Amino acid sequence: MEEPINVTDGAFERVVLGAALPVVAAFWSRVEESAAPLRQVLATAARQYASQVRVVALEAEDAPQTRARFGVDSLPQFLFFRNGRLVARARGLPTIEGLRPWVEFLLGQGPPPTPAASPTTTSAAHPLTVTDADFGRLVLEAPGPALVDFWAAWCGPCRMLAPTIERLASTFAGRARVAKLDVDANPLTAQRYGVQSIPTLIIFKNGQEVDRLVGVQPERVIRERLEEHL
């Protein structure tokens, strides 16, 4: 395919997660100044890697569910998929030269790019924000394990734990979903799972709670508990 494929929520599973080739997926907005140069970068990438990767574009207004599903919190943003799994993420608008190391990593031809190699981007994933309304879809129906941080803005221990949750989201990108749920804004889910103190971390798999940690925990402990369910 020598042209980028425009993808909506309805086509995402088939075109991206079901693709035989690795996929470069770019989330963008037609109202941003970066729209025109971004489309040029995608067109160039589609031509250069036509037989090796699939290049797709997701306009933010056309793919709101997919954007929420993968925690795309800024635009433009690039997600890189291999065998239907998210393996890397880059924020910002790269040149084609800036995009090349990411594609080489996606193809197994190079190491994961570092922020120093591409200063406008980062490979780190971020926790997904979930709510009462989308908890079932984003957590219970997740294709793998999901770690949910039940927290609140006024909670000091929650703020202490936040950097750990950020690092875990990056560590487990493409292997497990890491999410945050504000218990003040979303009391129904917190009540449903009997969350009485925060922070509480609950690990879900196949729609069921499989583990729980209460209070601030060492990153090593949380990581080991989540790895048990991969």
**Which residues are part of the catalytic machinery?**
155, 158
CA–CA separation, 155 vs 46, rounded Å? 47
What would the two tokens of residue 149 be? 């941080």
Beta strands in the chain (DSSP E): 5-6, 23-28, 54-59, 77-82, 85-91, 128-129, 146-151, 177-182, 200-205, 208-214
What would the two tokens of residue 100 be? 């090349």
Whether residue 92 contacts residue 38, with contact meaning beta carbons closer than 8 Å, is answered with no
Which residues have C-beta within 8 Å of that of residue 204, sequence separation ≥ 6?
139, 140, 142, 145, 146, 147, 148, 210
First to last CA, the chain: 34
